[in-house]
Amino acid sequence: MRKIDIEIGYQFKNVKLLETAFVHRSYSHEKQNKIENNERLEFLGDAVLELTISEYLFKNFPELPEGEMTKVRASVVCEKTLVKVATKHNFSNFLLVSRSEHIGNNGKRRPSMLADCVEAVIGAIYLDGGYIESQKFILNNLAEYVAESIKGLGVKDYKTTLQEIIQRDPTRKLEYVLIRAEGPEHDKTFYMKALCDNVQIGNGIGKTKKEAEQMAAKMAIERMKYEA
């Protein structure tokens, strides 16, 4: 399963956990239950996924009330989004299903099956590498959908708010510049700075450039409030 390690950006110490994450119950039944299926890992992964997204929303979007955070989490932690993650990493190439399931029910490409597999992989990463590693996988794949969902709520993000503040004077220029990026390709951390008329007014760190820009804008806004 080394190929799937590369796909998801995490190398397992216990490869058996990864293999189990891709065993559907139909395949297990076909083998007289001699092979463990992924349902228990799916159960665990679902809990880790909900906690990670909840924590991410709580820490990074202090302007969101409880009800809005619940809406965003529900829109992200759902079958449709998880299928996108499975498709991105070609999970259908590795999923094991029974012969009848494969022939009769669109087997490896059935949305519910792929979504369950993603949760099982999260559970497997959690058991193998701990919460931080499972959190990395989740946010690397789902942070962009969190941002999309928040925009859909009509909530202003920090960059938009900062832009509106700066543009009160049309002669002023706001821009974001990458300071540096650290880490391997599958797990980079980005450092950005916000500049107003070439003067640094904030800096931020994130797992994506957009997230780092948001954090830089947030710092700039907080400084403006403090200095006002």
- For the stretch 51-109, pLDDT in tens is 999 999 998 887 788 888 999 999 999 999 999 999 999 998 899 888 766 665 566 67
| pTM over cut 0.75 | no
Q: pLDDT at residue 228 above 50? A: no
Question: CA angle at residue 83 from 79 to 86, to 5 degrees?
Answer: 140
Residues 213, 217, 220, 222, Cα dihedral to 10°: -130
> Using CA atoms, how far apart are residues 217 and 212, in angstroms rounded to an integer?
9
Q: Write down the pLDDT at residue 105.
A: 56
Whether pLDDT at 153 is above 80 = no
Nearest in space to 95 (alpha carbons), one of 83, 77, 113, 78: 113
Q: What is the dihedral of CA 179, 196, 201, 68, to 10 degrees?
A: -90
Query: Of 35-39, 102-106, 192-196, where does mean pLDDT reach its minimum?
Result: 102-106
Average pLDDT for 37-50: 97
Q: What is the pLDDT of residues 100-134, one digit of tens each?
A: 666 655 666 789 999 999 999 999 999 999 999 99
- Active-site amino acid positions: 46, 119
